[in-house]
Amino acid sequence: MQLGRFPRTRLAHGPTPLEPMERLGRELGGPRLWVKRDDCTGLGLGGNKTRKLEFLAAEALAQGADTLVTVGAVQSNHVRQTAAAAAQLGLACEAVLERRMRSPADVYARGGNVLLDRMFGATLHFVDAGTDPAAACDEVAAAIRRRGGRPCVIPTGGSTPVGALGYVQCAQEILTQATDLGFAVDAVVHASGSAGTQAGLVAGFEGLRSGVDVLGISVSRPRAALEPLVHALAERTAELLGVAGGIDSARVAVDSGYVGPGYGVPTQSMIDAVGLAATREGLLLDPVYSGKAMAGLIDLARNGKWPARANVVFVHTGGAPALFAYQSLFDGS
Protein backbone atom coordinates (compact mmCIF):
# COMPACT_ATOMS: atom_id res chain seq x y z
CA MET A 1 0.00 0.00 0.00
CA GLN A 2 1.85 3.07 -1.22
CA LEU A 3 0.07 6.40 -1.24
CA GLY A 4 3.09 8.06 -2.81
CA ARG A 5 2.04 6.59 -6.16
CA PHE A 6 -0.97 8.89 -6.38
CA PRO A 7 -0.82 12.52 -7.55
CA ARG A 8 -1.46 14.87 -4.66
CA THR A 9 -1.73 18.65 -4.40
CA ARG A 10 -0.71 19.96 -1.00
CA LEU A 11 -3.57 21.91 0.55
CA ALA A 12 -3.64 20.80 4.19
CA HIS A 13 -1.65 21.82 7.21
CA GLY A 14 -0.44 18.48 8.44
CA PRO A 15 -0.06 16.29 10.29
CA THR A 16 -3.07 17.57 12.24
CA PRO A 17 -2.66 17.21 16.03
CA LEU A 18 -3.74 14.10 17.96
CA GLU A 19 -4.60 15.33 21.45
CA PRO A 20 -5.98 13.85 24.67
CA MET A 21 -9.46 14.85 25.87
CA GLU A 22 -8.77 14.25 29.56
CA ARG A 23 -11.53 16.34 31.12
CA LEU A 24 -14.24 14.90 28.89
CA GLY A 25 -12.89 11.36 29.37
CA ARG A 26 -12.90 11.75 33.17
CA GLU A 27 -16.43 13.11 33.12
CA LEU A 28 -17.64 10.10 31.13
CA GLY A 29 -15.76 7.64 33.39
CA GLY A 30 -13.59 6.14 30.63
CA PRO A 31 -12.47 5.06 28.00
CA ARG A 32 -9.33 7.14 27.33
CA LEU A 33 -10.44 9.72 24.79
CA TRP A 34 -8.33 11.37 22.10
CA VAL A 35 -9.23 13.81 19.36
CA LYS A 36 -7.70 13.86 15.87
CA ARG A 37 -7.92 17.52 14.94
CA ASP A 38 -8.98 17.35 11.30
CA ASP A 39 -10.91 20.54 11.97
CA CYS A 40 -7.41 22.05 11.80
CA THR A 41 -6.48 21.14 8.22
CA GLY A 42 -6.08 24.86 7.58
CA LEU A 43 -7.68 25.31 4.18
CA GLY A 44 -10.48 27.90 4.38
CA LEU A 45 -11.16 27.16 8.10
CA GLY A 46 -10.42 23.47 7.63
CA GLY A 47 -12.30 20.18 7.89
CA ASN A 48 -12.27 16.67 6.49
CA LYS A 49 -12.82 17.57 2.82
CA THR A 50 -9.34 19.10 2.60
CA ARG A 51 -7.55 15.72 2.69
CA LYS A 52 -9.86 14.38 -0.03
CA LEU A 53 -9.33 17.51 -2.12
CA GLU A 54 -5.55 17.02 -2.11
CA PHE A 55 -6.07 13.94 -4.30
CA LEU A 56 -9.16 15.17 -6.16
CA ALA A 57 -7.63 18.52 -7.12
CA ALA A 58 -4.49 16.77 -8.35
CA GLU A 59 -6.73 14.66 -10.60
CA ALA A 60 -8.56 17.78 -11.85
CA LEU A 61 -5.28 19.60 -12.60
CA ALA A 62 -3.94 16.54 -14.45
CA GLN A 63 -7.08 16.62 -16.63
CA GLY A 64 -6.43 20.27 -17.46
CA ALA A 65 -9.57 21.51 -15.71
CA ASP A 66 -10.07 25.24 -15.15
CA THR A 67 -13.22 25.00 -13.00
CA LEU A 68 -14.18 22.79 -10.06
CA VAL A 69 -17.91 21.97 -10.01
CA THR A 70 -19.41 20.47 -6.88
CA VAL A 71 -22.59 20.14 -4.84
CA GLY A 72 -23.82 20.11 -1.25
CA ALA A 73 -26.45 21.32 1.18
CA VAL A 74 -26.71 25.12 1.64
CA GLN A 75 -24.37 25.03 4.67
CA SER A 76 -21.99 22.54 3.04
CA ASN A 77 -18.48 22.40 4.49
CA HIS A 78 -17.41 20.42 1.42
CA VAL A 79 -18.43 23.24 -0.92
CA ARG A 80 -16.63 25.79 1.28
CA GLN A 81 -13.37 23.82 1.25
CA THR A 82 -13.67 23.14 -2.50
CA ALA A 83 -14.18 26.86 -3.12
CA ALA A 84 -11.09 27.64 -1.02
CA ALA A 85 -9.01 25.00 -2.85
CA ALA A 86 -10.07 26.44 -6.21
CA ALA A 87 -9.08 29.94 -5.10
CA GLN A 88 -5.69 28.73 -3.90
CA LEU A 89 -5.02 26.80 -7.13
CA GLY A 90 -6.19 29.57 -9.46
CA LEU A 91 -9.27 27.66 -10.63
CA ALA A 92 -12.88 28.82 -10.82
CA CYS A 93 -15.52 27.12 -8.66
CA GLU A 94 -19.24 26.65 -9.34
CA ALA A 95 -21.34 24.98 -6.68
CA VAL A 96 -24.88 23.65 -6.56
CA LEU A 97 -26.41 24.27 -3.13
CA GLU A 98 -29.48 22.18 -2.30
CA ARG A 99 -32.02 23.76 0.05
CA ARG A 100 -32.34 20.51 2.05
CA MET A 101 -33.38 22.26 5.27
CA ARG A 102 -36.58 24.20 5.71
CA SER A 103 -34.86 26.95 7.66
CA PRO A 104 -36.49 30.36 7.40
CA ALA A 105 -33.47 32.05 8.99
CA ASP A 106 -31.69 34.56 6.79
CA VAL A 107 -28.43 33.61 8.49
CA TYR A 108 -28.85 29.98 7.31
CA ALA A 109 -29.17 31.05 3.67
CA ARG A 110 -26.44 33.70 3.76
CA GLY A 111 -24.19 33.28 6.79
CA GLY A 112 -21.70 30.66 7.95
CA ASN A 113 -20.37 28.59 5.06
CA VAL A 114 -22.38 30.50 2.40
CA LEU A 115 -20.64 33.75 3.33
CA LEU A 116 -17.27 31.99 3.02
CA ASP A 117 -18.20 30.38 -0.36
CA ARG A 118 -18.84 33.87 -1.67
CA MET A 119 -15.64 35.26 -0.16
CA PHE A 120 -13.64 32.56 -1.99
CA GLY A 121 -15.25 33.75 -5.21
CA ALA A 122 -17.43 30.72 -5.94
CA THR A 123 -20.48 30.99 -8.19
CA LEU A 124 -23.48 29.54 -6.33
CA HIS A 125 -26.53 27.84 -7.88
CA PHE A 126 -29.34 27.31 -5.35
CA VAL A 127 -31.73 24.41 -6.10
CA ASP A 128 -34.75 22.93 -4.33
CA ALA A 129 -34.64 19.94 -1.98
CA GLY A 130 -34.73 16.62 -3.78
CA THR A 131 -32.80 17.80 -6.86
CA ASP A 132 -30.55 15.03 -8.20
CA PRO A 133 -27.04 16.25 -7.28
CA ALA A 134 -25.23 14.46 -10.12
CA ALA A 135 -27.67 15.74 -12.75
CA ALA A 136 -27.45 19.28 -11.36
CA CYS A 137 -23.64 19.19 -11.53
CA ASP A 138 -23.74 17.83 -15.09
CA GLU A 139 -26.00 20.71 -16.10
CA VAL A 140 -23.62 23.28 -14.62
CA ALA A 141 -20.65 21.52 -16.25
CA ALA A 142 -22.40 21.49 -19.64
CA ALA A 143 -23.02 25.25 -19.43
CA ILE A 144 -19.33 25.82 -18.59
CA ARG A 145 -18.29 23.69 -21.60
CA ARG A 146 -20.58 25.69 -23.88
CA ARG A 147 -18.70 28.81 -22.80
CA GLY A 148 -15.41 27.10 -23.66
CA GLY A 149 -14.41 26.20 -20.10
CA ARG A 150 -13.01 22.89 -18.83
CA PRO A 151 -15.02 21.76 -15.77
CA CYS A 152 -14.17 18.89 -13.46
CA VAL A 153 -17.09 17.58 -11.40
CA ILE A 154 -16.37 16.54 -7.82
CA PRO A 155 -19.36 14.50 -6.58
CA THR A 156 -21.12 14.94 -3.20
CA GLY A 157 -18.62 15.08 -0.35
CA GLY A 158 -15.72 14.24 -2.67
CA SER A 159 -16.53 10.61 -1.89
CA THR A 160 -14.85 8.74 -4.73
CA PRO A 161 -12.05 6.17 -4.37
CA VAL A 162 -9.54 8.93 -5.20
CA GLY A 163 -11.05 11.25 -2.57
CA ALA A 164 -11.09 8.46 0.02
CA LEU A 165 -7.29 8.19 -0.33
CA GLY A 166 -7.19 11.28 1.89
CA TYR A 167 -8.55 9.21 4.76
CA VAL A 168 -6.27 6.27 4.01
CA GLN A 169 -3.52 8.79 4.63
CA CYS A 170 -5.25 9.96 7.83
CA ALA A 171 -5.39 6.37 9.12
CA GLN A 172 -1.63 6.07 8.59
CA GLU A 173 -1.08 9.41 10.32
CA ILE A 174 -3.16 8.39 13.38
CA LEU A 175 -1.21 5.13 13.82
CA THR A 176 2.15 6.91 13.55
CA GLN A 177 1.11 9.58 16.06
CA ALA A 178 -0.34 7.05 18.51
CA THR A 179 2.92 5.10 18.38
CA ASP A 180 4.85 8.31 19.12
CA LEU A 181 2.49 9.10 22.01
CA GLY A 182 2.89 5.56 23.35
CA PHE A 183 -0.56 4.06 22.97
CA ALA A 184 -2.43 1.60 20.74
CA VAL A 185 -5.67 2.76 19.11
CA ASP A 186 -8.62 0.48 19.86
CA ALA A 187 -11.36 2.40 18.08
CA VAL A 188 -11.97 5.45 15.92
CA VAL A 189 -15.33 7.27 15.96
CA HIS A 190 -16.43 9.96 13.50
CA ALA A 191 -19.38 11.55 11.69
CA SER A 192 -20.30 9.63 8.53
CA GLY A 193 -22.31 11.17 5.70
CA SER A 194 -21.35 10.49 2.08
CA ALA A 195 -19.16 7.47 3.02
CA GLY A 196 -15.76 8.74 1.82
CA THR A 197 -14.20 9.45 5.19
CA GLN A 198 -15.23 6.12 6.66
CA ALA A 199 -14.33 4.14 3.52
CA GLY A 200 -10.85 5.70 3.50
CA LEU A 201 -10.29 5.04 7.21
CA VAL A 202 -11.48 1.43 6.88
CA ALA A 203 -9.35 0.79 3.78
CA GLY A 204 -6.35 2.40 5.50
CA PHE A 205 -6.62 0.60 8.83
CA GLU A 206 -7.38 -2.73 7.11
CA GLY A 207 -4.62 -2.25 4.55
CA LEU A 208 -2.21 -1.80 7.45
CA ARG A 209 -3.72 -4.81 9.29
CA SER A 210 -4.00 -2.59 12.36
CA GLY A 211 -7.07 -4.13 13.99
CA VAL A 212 -8.52 -0.65 14.67
CA ASP A 213 -12.34 -0.63 14.84
CA VAL A 214 -13.96 2.22 12.90
CA LEU A 215 -17.41 3.38 13.97
CA GLY A 216 -19.23 5.85 11.73
CA ILE A 217 -22.00 7.81 13.41
CA SER A 218 -24.50 8.49 10.63
CA VAL A 219 -25.71 12.05 10.14
CA SER A 220 -28.35 11.18 7.55
CA ARG A 221 -28.96 7.64 6.29
CA PRO A 222 -30.15 4.64 8.30
CA ARG A 223 -27.47 2.10 9.14
CA ALA A 224 -28.84 -0.44 6.64
CA ALA A 225 -28.38 2.08 3.82
CA LEU A 226 -25.02 3.60 4.82
CA GLU A 227 -23.08 0.42 5.68
CA PRO A 228 -23.30 -1.02 2.14
CA LEU A 229 -22.29 2.36 0.65
CA VAL A 230 -19.23 2.54 2.90
CA HIS A 231 -18.33 -1.08 2.22
CA ALA A 232 -18.59 -0.68 -1.57
CA LEU A 233 -16.45 2.47 -1.53
CA ALA A 234 -13.91 0.88 0.85
CA GLU A 235 -13.61 -2.08 -1.55
CA ARG A 236 -13.02 0.25 -4.53
CA THR A 237 -10.50 2.26 -2.53
CA ALA A 238 -8.64 -0.89 -1.44
CA GLU A 239 -8.59 -2.03 -5.07
CA LEU A 240 -7.14 1.33 -6.18
CA LEU A 241 -4.46 0.89 -3.50
CA GLY A 242 -3.72 -2.68 -4.53
CA VAL A 243 -4.65 -4.05 -1.09
CA ALA A 244 -5.08 -7.80 -1.54
CA GLY A 245 -8.10 -9.67 -0.23
CA GLY A 246 -10.67 -6.90 -0.25
CA ILE A 247 -12.51 -5.57 2.80
CA ASP A 248 -14.49 -7.85 5.13
CA SER A 249 -17.97 -6.30 5.45
CA ALA A 250 -17.84 -7.12 9.19
CA ARG A 251 -15.21 -4.34 9.47
CA VAL A 252 -17.75 -1.68 8.40
CA ALA A 253 -19.84 -0.43 11.33
CA VAL A 254 -22.36 2.41 11.31
CA ASP A 255 -24.59 3.58 14.16
CA SER A 256 -27.56 5.64 12.99
CA GLY A 257 -29.06 6.14 16.43
CA TYR A 258 -28.09 9.82 16.68
CA VAL A 259 -29.44 11.30 13.43
CA GLY A 260 -32.70 12.45 15.03
CA PRO A 261 -35.41 13.67 12.63
CA GLY A 262 -32.99 14.05 9.72
CA TYR A 263 -29.91 15.57 8.12
CA GLY A 264 -29.08 18.96 9.58
CA VAL A 265 -32.07 18.91 11.96
CA PRO A 266 -30.91 19.69 15.51
CA THR A 267 -31.28 17.16 18.35
CA GLN A 268 -31.04 17.81 22.09
CA SER A 269 -28.19 15.31 22.42
CA MET A 270 -26.25 17.22 19.72
CA ILE A 271 -26.80 20.54 21.52
CA ASP A 272 -25.63 18.93 24.80
CA ALA A 273 -22.56 17.38 23.13
CA VAL A 274 -21.54 20.64 21.44
CA GLY A 275 -21.89 22.37 24.82
CA LEU A 276 -19.90 19.71 26.68
CA ALA A 277 -17.01 19.75 24.16
CA ALA A 278 -16.89 23.55 24.32
CA THR A 279 -16.97 23.85 28.11
CA ARG A 280 -14.77 20.85 29.02
CA GLU A 281 -12.23 20.89 26.20
CA GLY A 282 -12.45 24.31 24.55
CA LEU A 283 -13.34 22.39 21.40
CA LEU A 284 -15.79 23.68 18.79
CA LEU A 285 -17.97 21.00 17.19
CA ASP A 286 -20.71 21.65 14.65
CA PRO A 287 -24.49 21.14 14.65
CA VAL A 288 -24.76 18.92 11.54
CA TYR A 289 -21.88 16.43 11.76
CA SER A 290 -19.34 16.40 14.60
CA GLY A 291 -21.94 17.41 17.21
CA LYS A 292 -24.11 14.39 16.41
CA ALA A 293 -21.04 12.13 16.23
CA MET A 294 -19.93 13.35 19.66
CA ALA A 295 -23.46 12.80 20.98
CA GLY A 296 -23.05 9.18 19.86
CA LEU A 297 -19.58 8.83 21.39
CA ILE A 298 -20.78 10.24 24.73
CA ASP A 299 -23.85 8.02 24.88
CA LEU A 300 -21.98 4.87 23.87
CA ALA A 301 -19.14 5.58 26.33
CA ARG A 302 -21.62 6.15 29.18
CA ASN A 303 -23.30 2.86 28.32
CA GLY A 304 -20.04 0.93 28.54
CA LYS A 305 -19.36 0.20 24.87
CA TRP A 306 -15.60 0.38 25.51
CA PRO A 307 -13.52 -0.86 28.48
CA ALA A 308 -12.16 1.94 30.71
CA ARG A 309 -8.59 1.32 29.50
CA ALA A 310 -9.47 1.38 25.79
CA ASN A 311 -8.09 4.21 23.66
CA VAL A 312 -10.80 5.77 21.53
CA VAL A 313 -9.96 8.43 18.95
CA PHE A 314 -12.66 10.89 17.88
CA VAL A 315 -11.87 12.20 14.41
CA HIS A 316 -13.02 15.83 14.49
CA THR A 317 -14.11 16.35 10.89
CA GLY A 318 -14.64 20.13 11.27
CA GLY A 319 -17.77 22.10 10.46
CA ALA A 320 -17.67 24.84 13.10
CA PRO A 321 -18.42 27.62 10.54
CA ALA A 322 -21.99 26.24 10.47
CA LEU A 323 -22.37 27.20 14.16
CA PHE A 324 -22.88 30.74 12.90
CA ALA A 325 -25.81 29.59 10.77
CA TYR A 326 -27.44 27.83 13.75
CA GLN A 327 -26.71 30.60 16.24
CA SER A 328 -30.11 30.65 17.95
CA LEU A 329 -29.58 27.06 19.18
CA PHE A 330 -26.59 28.09 21.28
CA ASP A 331 -26.98 31.72 22.35
CA GLY A 332 -29.89 31.11 24.68
CA SER A 333 -32.24 33.29 22.63
Ligand X SMILES: *Cc1c(COP(=O)(O)O)cnc(C)c1O
Closer to ligand X by Cβ: residue 51 or 144: 51
76 assigned to active site: yes
- Which phi and psi (to 5°) does residue 191 adopt? -75, 130
- Smallest distance from ligand X to CB 68, Å: 16
- Residues 319, 321, 323, 326: which binds ligand X (CB under 6 A)? 319
- Smallest distance from ligand X to CB 304, Å: 26
Interface residues for ligand X in 42-61 (CB under 6 A)?
Answer: 47-48
Q: Is 169 in the site for ligand X (CB under 6 A)?
A: no
- Residues 67, 70, 169, 197: which binds ligand X (CB under 6 A)? 197
Closer to ligand X by Cβ: residue 31 or 112: 112
Instruction: Kindly indicate which of the ranges 121-129, 134-142, 173-181, 187-195 contains the residues binding ligand X, using the contact rule CB under 6 A.
Output: 187-195
Name the active-site residue from 76, 159, 192, 269: 76
Give the total of residues touching ligand X (CB under 6 A). 20
Closer to ligand X by Cβ: residue 144 or 254: 254
Binding-site ranges for ligand X (CB under 6 A): 47-48, 77-78, 157, 159, 191-198, 286, 289-290, 317-319
Q: Active-site positions?
A: 76
